[in-house]
Every structure is written in C-alpha cells, then in structure tokens.
C-alpha cells in the first residue's frame, strides 16, 4: 500500500513543468464513494480538480457517484465492479487511526503492484490550514495522487511533483495555481497501461479496438 503525507519542512523544490495534453485521450472510470458525507460543492470541486490533473496527461475521468441512498440497482451494480486499471474506486473516509496524522490517503496494491481501491482521509485534509489551496482543490489533488498510485503501481513516488510522498510548501502553492501535475513519463506510463488493458479486453471479446 502507498500513502501520501504533507510536509512543510522545506521550500527547496524545482517548479513542476506543465504537461501538454496529447491529442488522443484515454478514459478512466472512477467510482467515487462519499463515505465522509462531504458537501456537494466541495465534492464537485474535488472532482473538477482531479479531472483537470488527468486531462493534462491526456486521460478523461468518467465519474460515478456511488453509495448514494437513491442509487438505482443498475448504478449499484456498475459501482460494484472495479476492474484495474480502467475502473477504480476512491473512498472519501473520515480518517485512519492506525496511520500517522500527516497521511492524507492510501492506495491498496498487491505485491505485484496491482490494485483498484484508494482511500482519502477527509477529516485530516479539512483540518489542514497551511495550504493556500481551497479545500476542494486539496481533496482533488489527494484523490489524483492515490489514483496515480493505482495506475503507476509499486514504487511510484517521485522526488518532485504530484507523486511526491510528502507535499511541501512549493507543491501546495502549485496546487493553488493549477501547476502541479503528473510528469510526462508518468503520463505516458498511465496511458500505456490503459491502452494495453483496452486492447486485451477487446481482443478477448473478439472485436477490433482503437486502444482507448
């Protein structure tokens, strides 16, 4: 499993360059479970932030709001069928007592680096006051970070940028300005993983595939 924490210990970070979105786009389905009962406004803002981050890597997120009281049987069925890497689950929960308070999220990966669920800890994010970014923005970045782990696999932390194990002051400023994104290498790896999965699935069904 992988976690994300926040640290304000250092300002010594280089600026993360923006990634120009490729012409082709790939689709990632995310089942979002609002277990912490986050307000609709904050939730929508977090989704928008995470969608923006992935769009910079040429990946479109298709959101499904799951676990609702008014959920139809069809929606419940669709929400209960995660399939790595194309259909991932994100649960927004209150917290996790067994992890340090500096940890804002966790992704669950097998020893082979495969997983389909991540949790983000809303209570900890909401209590964090040192960030210049809005609450919804910070939540969206935490969600994107954990989705990044699920797509990139084991050892996917990086020394700078969105996939740092601990975000620092300059990273938080970058969030507020919309400039903290996946690196080009990370974006290529995620697109390749989604493309390979799509090709294999279409091949198993006996149909030609466009690969995305």
pLDDT tens profile 60-87: 999 999 999 999 999 999 999 999 999 9
Triad 33, 167, 177: Cα angle to 5°: 85
Q: Tell me the C-alpha distance between 137 and 63, whole Å.
A: 17
Q: What is the pTM assigned to this prediction?
A: 0.85
* Region label for 10, one of left (φ > 0), alpha (ψ between -120 and 50) or beta (otherwise): beta
- Scanning the structure block, which residue is given the tokens 């999220």? 105
pLDDT tens profile 112-134: 999 999 999 999 999 887 777 89
- Of the candidates 93, 105, 137, which has an alpha carbon nearest to the alpha carbon of residue 5? 105
Listed by start position, the domains of the chain span 20-204
**CATH number assigned to the domain covering 20-204:** 3.40.390.10
Hey, how many other C-beta atoms are within 10 angstroms of the C-beta on 59? 23
What DSSP designation does 206 have? Answer: T
């Amino acid at each position: 499993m992988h976690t994300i924490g926040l640290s304000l210990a250092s300002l010594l970070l280089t600026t993360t360059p923006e990634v120009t979105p490729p012409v082709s786009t790939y689709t990632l389905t995310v089942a979002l479970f609002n277990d912490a009962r986050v307000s609709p406004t904050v939730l929508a803002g977090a989704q928008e932030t995470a969608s923006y981050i992935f769009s910079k890597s040429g990946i479109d997120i298709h959101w499904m709001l799951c676990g609702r009281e008014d959920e139809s049987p069809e929606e419940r069925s669709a929400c209960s069928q995660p399939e790595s890497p194309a259909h991932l689950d994100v649960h927004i929960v209150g917290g996790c007592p067994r992890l340090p308070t500096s940890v804002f999220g966790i992704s669950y990966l097998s020893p082979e680096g495969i997983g389909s669920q991540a949790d983000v800890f809303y209570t900890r994010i909401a209590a964090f006051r040192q960030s210049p970014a809005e609450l919804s923005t910070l939540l969206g970045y935490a969600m994107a970070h954990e989705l990044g782990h699920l797509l990139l696999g084991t050892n996917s932390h990086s020394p700078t940028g969105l996939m740092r194990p601990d975000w620092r002051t300059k990273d938080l400023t970058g969030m507020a300005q919309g400039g903290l994104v996946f690196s080009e290498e990370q974006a290529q790896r995620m697109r390749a993983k989604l493309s390979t999965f799509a090709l294999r699935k279409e091949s198993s069904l006996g149909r030609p595939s466009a690969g995305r």
